[in-house]
């Protein structure tokens, strides 16, 4: 789809400002979101999504880097070789350029930078690529199923709004190019793999992409917020650590020589109970969850292997760090009690952050100008985690500023699929806020 820049949507707040052009229509955002929704991919295996973004932003004149061109694999967490291999196969079958796949080198993610050629600051946007491991509901009341854009990948779907975020980023790219003569400095889109599980931000931080960023903007479509509500600075981002535990015991025949075995399954099961009994903390809220436990080799065999996925969360970094340390210590104790070995890997993490007041004020002003906004709230408790916080902390540590806001797009609570469906009209709300922030932060508003 080739963009045209000679017309402005008369309803657009950005396009109503003298000398600014807004070529984006609401229908463009919806159509692009639906295209993305059809091909969900899991974290660190988003080859189709990376290629789609690379081709689009290259066509707009952005400088594009993909995969290994900026991500060092030594910092990558939670990447499944099996999932990557299958997703690469599907990407080839879908017609993704072999040259692009070779450039990626088995790693997804994209950085697209537009240099205006005029002195100025660097503005960056974080965009998530991955989907969730869940089946798309085959139900006439589910919007993607009803409208014919449901997931083409069994066991995967965009259920967290990342498809909408990508659509907004694409159209924002068109807005930037349409107004290139009015902008200064550099504008960068960072398409992050593996946001689910807090896996993707850490290697991007280590890549150095953020070290010259003056302002980083992050946002999220929120299905649990009433449609038309914008939260300028949500609070209570929980710090989190995602931990994989591996228990290694010794096989033995359960009937003939049970005394020779060392039961990794029982050690892991004991650890699961002990971990869920971790004490809460007087300094703030905590969360602990044992998400998966896979163990054993057969009905009549003492289990020699067990693998467990665990997460802890704390209201601040100190609480979270203490929980993570205690979780590993307790798991190690359970392993010792059953005579097995235990090892662990950190698979993901996120922290908390303090938003910059100046950016929060800008978000508030821009949100009030956006279409379909009914209410702008200064804050609400998020009580969840997002590894964008690692990126925000990095920018702030280098003297930059950052902001994170929510755009409510929830459906009626009575809707059976309200947790995974969102009102697509509010893609234009997210787009309007970003477009107005581009104008405001360019110094030309």
Rounded CA gap, 250 and 302, in Å? 7
Q: What is the DSSP string of 171-202?
A: HHHHHHHHTGGG--SEEEEEEES-TTTT-SHH
Kindly tell me the burial class for residue 78, based on how many C-beta atoms sit within 10 Å of its own C-beta (0-12, 13-18, 19 or more): buried
Looking at the DSSP bridge assignments, the partners of residue 242 are 311, 348
Question: Is 196 marked as a binding-site residue?
Answer: yes
Q: Residues for the chain: how many in total?
A: 445
Residue 120 CA, distance from chain mean position = 28
3-state secondary structure of 23: coil
Question: Is 309 marked as a binding-site residue?
Answer: no
Q: Are strands 110-115 and 63-66 parallel, antiparallel or unpaired?
A: antiparallel
Contacts of 94 (CB under 8 A, 6+ apart): 39, 48
User: Shortest CA distance to 221 belongs to which of 212, 213, 230?
Assistant: 230
Query: Which stretch of DSSP H or E encloses residue 286?
Result: strand 286-295
Residue 117 Rama label (left phi>0; alpha psi -120 to 50; beta): left
Q: What is the DSSP string of 299-363?
A: TTB---EEEEEEEEEESSHHHHHHHHHHHHHHHHHHHHHTT-EEEEEEEEEE------HHHHHHH
Q: What is the DSSP string of 57-117?
A: HHHHT-EEEEGGGT--GGG--S--HHHHHHHHHHHHHTT--HHHHHHHTT---EEEEEE-S
User: Shortest CA distance to 71 belongs to which of 195, 208, 194?
Assistant: 208
Rounded CA gap, 100 and 97, in Å? 5
Contacts of 276 (CB under 8 A, 6+ apart): 288, 289, 290
For residue 178, give Cα distances in angstroms to 17, 22, 427.
14, 7, 20
Question: Is 415 marked as a binding-site residue?
Answer: no
Annotated binding site: 160, 162, 196, 220
Annotated binding site for Mn(2+): 160, 162, 196, 220
């Amino acid at each position: 789809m080739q963009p045209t820049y000679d017309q402005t949507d008369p309803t657009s707040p950005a396009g109503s400002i003298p000398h600014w052009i807004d070529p984006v229509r609401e229908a463009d955002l919806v159509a692009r979101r639906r295209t993305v929704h059809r091909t969900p991919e899991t974290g660190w295996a988003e080859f189709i999504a990376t290629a789609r973004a690379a081709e689009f932003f290259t066509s707009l004149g952005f400088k594009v880097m993909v995969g290994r061109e900026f991500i060092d694999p030594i910092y990558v967490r939670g990447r499944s070789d099996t999932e990557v291999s299958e997703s690469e196969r599907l990407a080839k079958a879908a017609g993704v350029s072999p040259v692009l796949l070779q450039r990626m080198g088995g790693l997804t993610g994209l950085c697209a930078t537009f240099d205006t050629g005029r002195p100025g600051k660097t503005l960056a946007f974080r965009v998530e690529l991955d989907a969730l491991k869940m089946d798309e509901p085959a139900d006439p009341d589910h919007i993607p199923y009803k409208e014919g854009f449901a997931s083409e990948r069994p066991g995967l779907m965009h259920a967290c709004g990342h498809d909408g975020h990508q659509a907004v980023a694409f159209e924002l790219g068109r807005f930037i190019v349409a107004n290139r003569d009015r902008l200064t400095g550099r504008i960068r889109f960072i398409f992050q793999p593996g946001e689910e599980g807090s896996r993707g931000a850490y290697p991007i931080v280590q890549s150095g992409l953020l070290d010259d960023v003056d302002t980083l903007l992050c946002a999220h479509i929120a299905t649990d917020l009433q449609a038309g509500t914008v939260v300028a600075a949500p609070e209570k981002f929980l710090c989190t650590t995602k931990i994989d535990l591996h228990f290694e015991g010794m096989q033995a025949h359960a009937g003939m020589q049970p005394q020779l075995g060392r039961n990794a399954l029982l050690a892991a099961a004991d650890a699961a109970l002990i971990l869920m009994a971790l004490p809460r903390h007087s300094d703030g809220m905590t969360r602990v969850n044992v998400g998966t436990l896979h163990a054993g080799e057969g009905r009549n065999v003492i289990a020699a292997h067990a693998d467990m996925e665990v997460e802890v969360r704390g209201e601040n970094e100190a609480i979270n760090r203490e929980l993570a340390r205690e979780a590993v210590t307790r798991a190690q104790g359970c392993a010792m009690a059953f005579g097995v070995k235990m090892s662990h890997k950190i698979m993901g993490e996120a922290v908390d952050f303090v938003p910059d007041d100046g950016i929060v004020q800008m978000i508030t002003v821009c949100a009030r100008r956006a279409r379909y906004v009914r209410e702008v709230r200064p804050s609400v408790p998020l009580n969840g985690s997002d590894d964008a916080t690692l990126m925000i902390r990095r920018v702030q540590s280098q003297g930059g500023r950052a902001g994170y806001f929510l755009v409510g797009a929830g459906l009626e609570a009575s809707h059976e699929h309200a947790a995974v469906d969102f009102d697509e009209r509010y893609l234009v709300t997210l787009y309007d806020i970003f477009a107005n922030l581009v104008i405001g932060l360019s110094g030309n508003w």
